[in-house]
Structure 1
């Protein structure tokens, strides 16, 4: 069992679950509650509330997680040779047979895509289910081909990571509109929800992009031996350092700009300095000074802290709204 859990990267799957729950209950729900509508029936005013049934939300999360798990399985299926060079050990082909790994990949993807079409039907947009089908296929071709192409694999992973929070909003907005539109004199703009969730998605994209290139720097020897066209293999470690630091500086600049222009509270500032800016600067340091895989591994570790802290910032947003400090 432990090898199956390791194969599907259970820790990463928990972060996906955490991200989608926090987007729904720490961002969308409290921010929507700041908006109000006037009812036709009696002219009363009430705040907007979540309308996607909880069981449907759970199905959405399970669909996301199972497709991601299938992606991890197929990734290890195609990475046997490079993992032997970079890590000295493998799961698929040693602990779990290639045939069994492919079987579980198929089971997970069929379950995830089916659940995706079901939840799309539930919200009245069946065609949205094609997103899950496309992601499933994209993960397969990422593992078999795209990850070894210059920057393409990195961009795909960053985009898919950014989609995790956005999927929650994509399936909540249709049912909010369908529920409230017939009941109210005028629907308020829900763009503020897109700004908040989109902000988390953009941060996820940039930080994931940086971390993926760092991981490629860490795996440089194995990728070069296998003939991969990863960014470090094609452009070199020096150019890769510059690229990563530029992405990290952009992430730093964006969070400072957003705080200064739109937020301005000292709770957020303190949180950002301690949990995001400090580890981000440490990651920059190890990218610049690293001369071996161990140095790049440390940089990747601190980027993971930054990414997790970005997700957990939603809890602080919830707390600030609950106390009425953010309007």
Structure 2
């Protein structure tokens, strides 16, 4: 159990679920060729999960002192798992993840795509050692990596199977994946700042320069509230343009009830939040918004079939 906690298995399950969902509830129903077989796609999911797990491990290794202040009950490295074991697990996870990525890149005839996996592993390492201490940049990198896990689906499953005859359809599907990647980026970027507010005491003692340390918790909370207006407006415009104009009323109701309403709740609550408990709650609200946002692909697909 200690090793599962170390790699944040709940987050990894959500990541894997998201990638499986996009392929089997969306792409598989589009009557298009896909570059990867089912088991090869399973390897793509596994590779992403392994690299993310490695990122969590190395982050815990470098964050031991900070975590002892912020969340002492959740510290694993140095308590139930030694630092040496942590490094060994990190190396094993990374090597396996990158090796699978290298194999898949050769399967689709694009060996150069292996650099994507190396870049992801490198960014996660540099985030833990350096980038997370730089205001906003660390938040940006983590959000970007989550968005990248959505784009990987298109890069490895759609792009190599694109030919002149299906180019327009493939471009349209890749565009939808990009929209979801952008949504995931925006929500996760905001969530990372909220987590910085949660961890402000430990981060301050470690000499980090996060946004709440630089300008204070209250100002940061207000900036987060203003920032959350962006995904709210973008989602609203997206619903109007793509859902309502195509008579996708079930998807519209779903989006209003489970994405826009919680986002509005977040915007109001974060403006006046003060305690660590409140920010932890709001961080979980954003996690749910992200989950329901990703699940909307299933609702949209079913709504289209229902209308047909």
- TM score, norm. by length of structure 2: 0.95
1:236 maps to 2:216: yes
**Residue 304 of structure 1: aligned partner:** 287
Match of 1:92, SS state, is coil
Which of 156, 161, 168 is residue 146 of structure 2 equivalent to? 161
Distance 1:295 1:255 in 2: 25
1:108, distance to aligned residue in structure 2 (A): 0.1
For the 8 Å contact 1:282–1:299, the answer to whether it is kept is no
Partner of 2:238: 258
1:222-272 deviation line (CA, Å, top 9, x unaligned) = 111111101111122233123211221111101110111122122122111
Q: Secondary structure at the match of 1:76?
A: helix
Query: How do 1:125-140 and structure 2 match up within 5 A?
Result: 125-140=110-125
Query: Residue in 2 aligned with 1:270?
Result: 253
Map of 1:217 onto structure 2: 197
Deviations 1:168-195 (A, max 9, x none): 1110123322xx55xx5x7544221122
RMSD: 1.5
How big is the shift at 1:278? Answer: 2.0
The SS at the match of 1:228 is coil
Q: Is the 8 A contact 2:225 2:268 kept in 1?
A: no
1:26–1:317: 8 Å Cα contact kept in structure 2?
no
TM-score (norm 1): 0.89
Cα shift at 1:324:
4.0
Residues in 1 aligned to 2:56 and 2:208: alpha-carbon distance in whole angstroms: 19
Tell me, yes or no, if the aligned pair for 2:55 and 2:124 is still in contact at 8 Å: yes
SS, match of residue 190 in structure 1 = helix
Gap change, CA 1:288 and 1:188, over 3 Å in 2: closer
Please, which runs of 5 or more residues in structure 2 have no aligned partner? none
Aligned: 1:116 with 2:115: no
Corresponding residue number in structure 1 for 2:182: 202
Q: What secondary structure sits across from 2:72 in the alignment?
A: coil
Give the count of matched residue pairs.
Answer: 304
- The alignment partner of 1:5 has SS state of helix
Aligned equivalent of 2:40: 56
The 8 Å contact of residues 74 and 143 in structure 1, kept in 2 or not, is answered as: yes
* More helix per residue: 2
**Residues 19, 164 of structure 1: 8 Å contact kept:** no
Gap regions ≥5 residues in structure 1? 34-47
Q: Distance in 2 between matches of 1:300 and 1:158?
A: 14
CA distance in 2, matches of 1:290, 1:188: 47
In the alignment, which residue of structure 1 is the partner of 2:85? 100
Deviations along 1:68-116, whole A, 9 cap, x unmatched? 0000000100001110111123100111000001000000000000000
Q: Is the Cα contact below 8 Å between 2:159 and 2:170 reproduced in 1?
A: no
Contact 1:286 1:296 in 2 (8 A): no
Give 1:40's aligned residue: none
Q: CA contact under 8 A between 1:289 and 1:295: conserved in structure 2?
A: no
Kindly state the Cα deviation for residue 202 of structure 1 after the two structures are TM-superposed. 0.5
Q: After TM superposition, what 4+ stretches of structure 1 lie above 6 angstroms from structure 2?
A: none
Larger-gyration structure (1/2):
1
Structure 1 residues 212, 3: closer, same or farther in 2, change over 3 A? Answer: same
1:289 to 272, 277, 282: 272
- Preserved contact between residue 235 and residue 260 of structure 2 (Cα < 8 Å): no
- Residue 24 of structure 2 corresponds to 25
